[in-house]
Structure 1
Amino acid sequence: MEKPAFYFKMILSGILMGISMVLPGTSWPVMAIILGVYEPLMLALNKLFSAPKTLTRHDVRLLLFLIIGIGPAIFFTAYFILGLLMKFAFEINAVFIGLILGSVYLIYIEIKKKGFSEFLWFFLGIAVVVVPLLFGFKISNLRFFATIFGSRMLDFISGLIVSTSLPAIGDTIMLLLLGNYRHLLNAVRTFDFTTLLIFLSGFLIGFFAFVRIIGSLLKNYRSQTYAFIIGLMMASITSIWPFTRHTYDLSRVILFMILVAGGFLISFYLEKISTKKVKHGNG
């Protein structure tokens, strides 16, 4: 039986993951890795979808209390927090870069094998994030998606694509690339259930399939999968880099370095208090 601290940490992890699903430049899988719950979450979901009878009580509690945190956080962030946090985008992005760098280091030391295969998958992870950003591609610019049926298809495709539960393919980044972020955020704010249900149906279909894939990869190709994830996470920094040509003054650079260092240290603290308890919880 887990201690009350476990339930608190799972709800808090869910809240932070829910917030990261809404904020531009963030990713709930990256947040899950920072909090030390990504791998156990993927493995628990893989059991749920492929062999439900193998689920332990610990798996069920982990899933339940994460959901308790995630659901309200999504709506609360969309309604009240988003505008406030966007005023401090520089500071938030700086801390998040530190969190990413700290998490990358923690993942790197977990990779037992570091050969050509892992090197190749690392650069593939970088390419997956960077190439669409370089070309500025948005499928919403296609004429078909300007129609009513096309816009509904885009909602479904948006759900399908952001369901990929790999770090750094952030929900909001993918929606921004698709050109559908503001539309879906407004649907949350206005309780546009038609749009939300279409998005959710795409998300669930993609998520059920992808969880089984990532669960299998973590079991059978752990080092390559984590090398790919590191590539994704490193490349994701380009999408939240807080500087522009006009903001490289000394005070901002010093503040940036302090906040990055703080985020780096926070990732180590979160890993210390979360990972071991989550991975070794009893059934």
Structure 2
Amino acid sequence: MNQKSTGLSPAQFIFRIFQGALIGLGAVLPGISGGVLGVIFGVYKPIMELISHPFANFKTHVPKLIPVFIGGIIGFLGIANLLAFFLEKYPDPSVCLFIGLIAGMLPSLFREAGEQGRSKGSFISLIVCMIVIFVILNALNVASVTIEPNFFWYLFCGFCLALSVIAPGMSFSTLLMPLGLYTPFIDGIGHLDFSVLIPGGIGALLTVIILAKAINALFTHHYSLAFHGIIGIVIAATVMIVPFSSFAASAQQALINVVCLAVGVVFALLLDKFNSRVEVPEA
């Protein structure tokens, strides 16, 4: 594929692959949304336009989004085994690193949310969504819900995964971790287990077909309300995965967690700064 067909220079093409890889990572990492990264990188809108109207937008959107899709696959599949390993061996520092990444992305997310202005309703949406997610996740934690993974639950995993891409701020790990489905789902993806990949893929595809147009319309007509609601969800979901007990375990463990938090924040801020300096044409 040449520069003329994509509208991208070689450097921009490579950078788009890098962005796609990060979106793929965001789709699978705990507490992070691939949709949020897509918004920050300026590719969310063209992706949703393509999903909502694939035939009408195929020729105009696909060539410019191909490097993003390539990177997304690389990031998604490439990280699964590594992620499963670190979550098993070093769960608390890993989660703290992810929390730092989310915290570092919040300024960019808030900036994007106000792109079309803010109103009282925007902040009400943020607070209401934050409270709702707090209530739901606390109820799940109190109930100590655990589920035996099977075909139908992996369909649900696929639904959550697709939702984390098409709805910025939604992280599928937020729903799957309290249910005990996150680790087996990620492990199955990393090992290319078709008993996991097939139902997960079906669930993701059905979700995209059924919900993509509705979510695209929501952001088109109620951008500020929807985006601030997403910020509320991000904040609540992030607070819920903070390993508070780990900070109290020992001074050494607390220090490690703080360092991981700081590394995540710095990396996210540097990534946002770097992204703002690289101009990539939108699809």
* Equivalence map 1:13-162=2 (5 Å): 13-33=19-39, 36-37=40-41, 40-50=43-53, 52-55=55-58, 57=60, 59-84=61-86, 86-110=88-112, 111=114, 112-136=116-140, 141=147, 151-162=150-161
Tell me the CA shift for residue 233 of structure 1.
1.5
Out of 213-222 and 87-96, give the one that drifted further: 87-96
CA 1:138–1:94 in structure 2 vs 1: closer, same or farther (change >3 Å)? closer
Aligned residues: 271
**Residues 1:3 and 2:12 aligned together:** no
Identical columns (%): 20
Q: What do the CA deviations read for 1:218-250 (whole angstroms, capped 9, x no partner)?
A: 222121122112111111222331431653756
TM-score with structure 1 setting the length: 0.78
**Residues 1:179 and 2:180 aligned together:** yes
Partner in structure 2 of residue 230 of structure 1: 231
Separation (CA, whole Å) in 2 of partners of 1:83 and 1:270: 25
Separation (CA, whole Å) in 1 of partners of 2:16 and 2:213: 22
Partner in structure 1 of residue 3 of structure 2: none
Tell me the CA shift for residue 109 of structure 1.
3.3
Q: Is the 8 A contact 1:184 1:195 kept in 2?
A: yes
Q: What do the CA deviations read for 1:37-81 (whole angstroms, capped 9, x no partner)?
A: 3x5324333234325334564x32443222212223333323345
Structure 1 gaps, min length 5: none
CA RMSD after TM alignment: 3.3
Separation (CA, whole Å) in 1 of partners of 2:121 and 2:69: 36
Q: Amino acid of the residue matched to residue 28 of structure 1?
A: G
Q: Is the 8 A contact 2:162 2:204 kept in 1?
A: yes
Tell me the CA shift for residue 197 of structure 1.
1.2
TM-score with structure 2 setting the length: 0.78
Tell me the CA shift for residue 89 of structure 1.
4.1
Out of 252-261 and 93-102, give the one that drifted further: 252-261
